[in-house]
């Protein structure tokens, strides 16, 4: 392994982590209420979010991968691959709530009502923790669970916002 190979790996990983932070900022900018709800879900019940994420992701991913391998139709293979990527992007969108939650723990007076600053700060910290590799799938599953719970109304208090 020469120095060029080392730079290739290091810069590829650094670029991927930068894309994660950019995705979290984009989701926080486009869907601020969704990110708020995901942050609340992850704050009140992180293990429930993780369990919901596992319950949703595992069967879905295995079904889509199996469909892609079994199918001889190229369109079905493309569709299954696109759906796997969509699930990963949804999980990352839910993880934006975790980045917001972490960033709120490190809030400064300059933040004011600008949640994107908290998402950026928390996203950088979260991306750094992805260097351990173990944290990445755990947070992705919790993020998927948070987005599913926030969209389905999980964790709502009776009489508040429910019909």
CA contacts within 13 A on the Cβ side of 11 = 6
Grade residue 99 by pLDDT with cuts at 50, 70 and 90: very high
**In this structure, is residue 46 part of a structural domain?**
yes
pLDDT of residue 162: 40
**In this structure, is residue 6 part of a structural domain?**
no
pLDDT tens track for 36-80 = 999 999 999 999 999 999 999 989 888 887 887 788 888 888 888
**Domain extent for 148:** 17-152
Q: Is pLDDT above 80 for 153?
A: no
pTM of this structure: 0.82
The total domain count for the chain is 1
**In this structure, is residue 157 part of a structural domain?**
no
> Greater confidence, 77 or 14?
14
Grade residue 160 by pLDDT with cuts at 50, 70 and 90: very low
Question: 103-114 b/e with 16+ CB inside 10 Å = b?
Answer: bbeeeeeeeeee
**In this structure, is residue 10 part of a structural domain?**
no
Q: Is pLDDT above 60 for 32?
A: yes
**In this structure, is residue 76 part of a structural domain?**
yes
């Amino acid at each position: 392994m020469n120095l060029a190979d080392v730079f290739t790996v290091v810069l590829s990983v650094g670029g991927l982590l930068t894309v994660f932070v950019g995705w979290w900022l984009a989701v926080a900018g486009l869907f601020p209420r969704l990110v708020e709800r995901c942050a609340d879900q992850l704050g009140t019940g992180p293990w429930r979010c993780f369990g919901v994420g596992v319950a949703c992701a595992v069967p879905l991913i295995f079904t889509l991968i199996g469909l892609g391998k079994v199918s001889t139709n190229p369109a079905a293979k493309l569709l299954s691959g696109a759906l796997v990527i969509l699930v990963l992007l949804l999980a990352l969108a839910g993880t934006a709530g975790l980045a917001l939650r972490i960033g709120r723990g490190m809030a400064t007076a300059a933040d004011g009502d600008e949640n994107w600053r908290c998402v950026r700060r928390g996203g950088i910290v979260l991306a750094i923790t992805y260097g351990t590799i173990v944290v990445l799938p755990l947070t992705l599953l919790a993020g998927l669970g948070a987005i599913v719970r926030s969209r389905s109304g999980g964790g709502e208090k009776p009489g508040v916002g429910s019909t």
